[in-house]
Structure 1
Amino acid sequence: MASLRLSNLITRSLSSRANAHRAMAKAALFADSSTRTRLTRYNHHIEKAQQLEARALETATRSVGAAS
């Protein structure tokens, strides 16, 4: 049961970090930089958010499999 709680915390942490990267991606679009730099930063943060969401989903799926 303790591992379920830990995996929930990890999943929430990963989701929170992904949301933070999405916010940074949006902020990058409005930064006082060149278009190329803004796009590069935006793409970096969106890619990182997608990776974190994939890890969160994998962790959640693994914890459900371990519980059954």
Structure 2
Amino acid sequence: MAQLRLSNLITRSLSSRAEAHRQMAKAALFADSSTRTRLKRYNHHIEKAQQLEARALETAKRSVGGLA
């Protein structure tokens, strides 16, 4: 049961961080920078959000798989 709670915390933490990176990506589009810099920052944050979401999904799958 403790393992289930820990994996839920990790999954929520990763999802929260992914959401923060999506917000930073949106903010990058409106920054006072060159178009090239804004696009580079946007892409960086979107990529990081996707990585975090993939890790969250993998953690959730492992926790469910451990219950069976």
**In 1, distance between residues paired with 2:44 and 2:7?**
26
Unaligned stretches of 5+ residues in structure 1:
none
TM-score by structure 2 length?
1.00
Match of 1:24 in 2: 24
Q: Report the residue type matching 1:64 in the other structure.
A: V
Aligned: 1:67 with 2:39: no
Q: Report the residue type matching 2:47 in the other structure.
A: E
Moved runs in structure 1, 4+ residues, more than 6 A?
Answer: none
TM-score by structure 1 length?
1.00
Unaligned stretches of 5+ residues in structure 2:
none
Identity, in percent, stands at 88
Kindly state the Cα deviation for residue 65 of structure 1 after the two structures are TM-superposed.
Answer: 0.2
